[in-house]
Amino acid sequence: MRRPTPARRGLAATALALALGLTLAACSGSSDDDPSASPTPSATSAEDTADQAAVDGITVEGDAGAAPTVTLPSTPFNVSSVIVKVVEPGTGDTIEDGQQLAIKSVIISGADGSVATSTYTGEPDKVLLTSDLGDLHKKLVGQKVGARFVVTQPPQSATDPTYVRVAEIVSAETLPTRATGTAVKPPAGLPTVALDAEGVPTITAATGAAPTTLVAQPLITGTGDPVTAEQTLTVNYDLALWDGTKVTSTWEDGKPAQFPLSSVIPGWQEGLVGKPVGSQVLLVVPPAKGYGAKASDTIPANSTLVYVVDILAAE
């Protein structure tokens, strides 16, 4: 599916990279010295078995809600694949597919067992639990809030260590699937939007020339806090070209998209800042605020883009 990001990265994978420091779904991008970069591909079966045994030797101690003490079986500690292991069950509510998880964690350097970074002193990270997260999704669905788990990140270069992240699920929230609030009648001349009983939009093209400036027209005004530029959004959206040609829809995927607002095309950044969470917004994005003079997947060069965006959450 084509996302509104300028880079070719799966948005759920991007959210995971931000929230956990690891990307378990396929995506581009890496760094030679950044523990939040994408890991190398999975190892062979024999290597994976050895890596699993190495992870089994990690001990995690400490009270729930507090930063754990993590002891590696030896240093330097190395694995060649991404391993996910639940090390302590939770006692809270059962975690369900599609929920937004709040997670606190520590990253341990395999070089010497030291703490590279920790989120226990700040706000928890948020990640949407969808199948895009691969093995992490499989391991966490059905667990309970409070569960602790380990995720390994293999070295990104010959000089990098393995990183081990030990994370705790502090809450699990079921997000709305559609905008709710006060309907707004848009002005004439814009594409029209019809909603079915589930809130799934259908975009009908407007007549006439496409606007040359960004249009950010509320269709439903939500009751949440206004979106800010530094937040990560969870949205459902539909995308069509100005002539009505359908491009993509998260509704058809059956799962929302989640991404930092700062990572997407300018039309989204400028058009969604200030809109209340819970809103539905019609964005008409001219080429200069979209993908410009270069084609992008099925989007031709110099396209005016029409989005219907339901803002489900902003963190």
User: Into how many domains does the chain fold?
Assistant: 2
79 and 98 housed in the same domain: yes
202 and 277 housed in the same domain: yes
Q: Which of 120, 153, 173 is the last residue of a domain?
A: 173
**From 13-17, 149-153, 216-220, 293-297, the region with the lowest mean pLDDT:** 13-17
272 and 309 housed in the same domain: yes
108 and 129 housed in the same domain: yes
70 and 195 housed in the same domain: no
For residue 38, tell me if it sits in a domain: yes
pTM above 0.85, yes or no: no
pLDDT at 43 over 70: no
Q: Which of 151, 173, 195 is the last residue of a domain?
A: 173
17 and 164 housed in the same domain: yes
305 and 200 housed in the same domain: yes
Q: Which of 132, 154, 173 is the last residue of a domain?
A: 173
pLDDT at residue number 91: 96
**From 26-30, 157-161, 187-191, the region with the lowest mean pLDDT:** 26-30
pLDDT (tens digit per residue) in 202-234 = 999 999 999 999 999 999 999 999 999 999 999
Q: What percent of the chain has pLDDT over 70?
A: 86
CATH of the domain at 299: 3.10.50.40
For residue 68, tell me if it sits in a domain: yes
Give the structural domain span for 141: 11-173
225 and 163 housed in the same domain: no
Three-state SS string across the chain, please?
Answer: CCCCCCCCCCHHHHHHHHHHCCCCCCCCCCCCCCCCCCCCCCCCHHHHHHHHHHHHCCEEECCCCCCCEEECCCCCCCCCCCCEEEEECCCCCECCCCCEEEEEEEEEECCCCCEEEECCCCCCEEEECCHHHCHHHHHHCCCECCCEEEEEECCCCCCCCCEEEEEEEEEEECCCCCCCCEECCCCCCCCEEEECCCCCEEEECCCCCCCCCCEEEEEEECCCCECCCCCEEEEEEEEEECCCCEEEEHHHHCCCEEEEHHHCCHHHHHHHCCCECCCEEEEEECHHHCCCCCCECCECCCCCEEEEEEEEEEC
For residue 151, tell me if it sits in a domain: yes
pLDDT (tens digit per residue) in 255-269 = 899 989 999 999 999
143 and 194 housed in the same domain: no
Question: What does the pLDDT average to over 195-207?
Answer: 95
218 and 281 housed in the same domain: yes
